[in-house]
Structure 1
Amino acid sequence: MTEVQRPPLTADERGQLTGWLDLQRSFVRMKCQGLGEEDAHRKFLPTSPLMTMAGLVAHLRWNEYSWFQLNLAGVANTGQTPWTEGGHPDAEMFVDDVPIAQLLDEYDAECARSNETIAAHSLDALEQGPYAAKGEAASLRYILCHMIEETARHVGHLDIIRELLDGTTGYTSPNEDAA
């Protein structure tokens, strides 16, 4: 059984926030471990056809980018995002033709970049991106709490979809025997 590494019980605030976010991020890859392409892109929910394992990984990747690069760091959107003026609000989830391994690698790379941005800012640092211009800037502390919530919520979706796919649940990796 995969041992889940939680943040230390006595870590400081930054250590707790980043530790819990990293823990939730680790579950994303764990939930996708051993998936074939067909299962990674299988649509179970007729009312939410974009909510696939692959679609959720892509969504989480772009949320990392949006919150930490565009919003917090104020990096200019150079058009690399899937979102366009007047486009579909969930455009980042249109990934039927993208291999799950690529999506996971892109997610991991974005999380690493997010961690670099987090390390370069104080918890009180305010967003520099589009919301700052509207006078609605959030602190890094708020963003970390939100991203823990966002990632954990979608890990729950990944857990449910994975159980529907092959019965894998909880923290057990599909290639390991449950204790």
Structure 2
Amino acid sequence: MPPMTTDHTAVPERVWPDPTTGERQALEQWLEFHRATLAVKCAGLTDEQLRTLSTPPSELSLLGLVRHMAEVERGWFRKVLGGERTSWLYATDEDFDRDLHVTEDDSYEEAYAAWQAEIAHARGLAARHALDDLGASAHHRTGELINLRWIYLHMIEEYARHNGHADLIRERIDGATGA
């Protein structure tokens, strides 16, 4: 898969997954499609717009969703699949949901770069594993080892759910819908 554009002001190209491909390619193509969808939802907006909260009491924003997905990519691919003992990008002991809690000091440029770096790392790790390969570390909540297939399916679900949030937030910001 080609990497997404590094210019967050441009609308990234989304490629519809091939309906005749094999299982692994289908999983990878759907994950790439959903990654690109989140970038599309953020394209062309200012940092101020990207910090716009959905609606009270929710603290969701497009910027927060990008930061959250950087953390999710990091957690499932680096930590679970790769077994890396690395810190979180945003979470702290005081605020584990810091990724979603954006401030005026948080920028889309930084979040986008972190997200893209995690995606690139995830692609590299996944390329070295078969779908049935178990991750090197157990999941922190269940204690179970999880295979790459399950990680792909979960990531597609995670992006799809949050892309629904992103669609509603974007509509609130400037009326843009769809895509």
State the TM bucket, normalised to the shorter chain: 0.7 to 0.9
- The reply on whether 1:24 has 2:34 as its aligned counterpart is yes
Distance 2:148 2:162 in 1: 21
Instruction: Give the structure, 1 or 2, with the largest relative contact order (CA under 8 Å, sep 6 or more).
Output: 1
Matches within 5 A, 1:3-18: 4-18=14-28
Q: 1:47, CA displacement in angstroms?
A: 1.4
Match of 1:92 in 2: 99
Matches within 5 A, 1:20-169: 20-49=30-59, 51-77=60-86, 79-85=87-93, 87-96=94-103, 97-131=105-139, 135-169=143-177
SS in 2 for 1:92: coil
Which of 147-156 and 91-100 deviates more? 91-100
The answer as to whether partners of 2:170 and 2:177 remain within 8 angstroms in 1 is yes
- Letter of the 2:101 counterpart: F
In percent, how many aligned pairs have the same letter?
36
- TM-score normalised by length of structure 2: 0.85
Q: How many residues align?
A: 168
Over 3 Å counting, the alpha-carbon distance change for 1:76 and 1:149 in structure 2 is same
- Letter of the 1:62 counterpart: E
Deviations 1:1-20 (A, max 9, x none): 98742121221111000000
SS in 2 for 1:159: helix
Deviations 1:141-174 (A, max 9, x none): 0010000000111111111000011011111xxx
Uncovered stretches (5+) of structure 1, i.e. residues with no partner: 172-179
- Letter of the 1:90 counterpart: D
Distance 1:22 1:162 in 2: 20
SS in 1 for 2:130: coil
Uncovered stretches (5+) of structure 2, i.e. residues with no partner: 1-10
Distance 1:163 1:139 in 2: 36
Distance 2:63 2:167 in 1: 13
Distance 2:125 2:65 in 1: 23
- Letter of the 1:24 counterpart: H
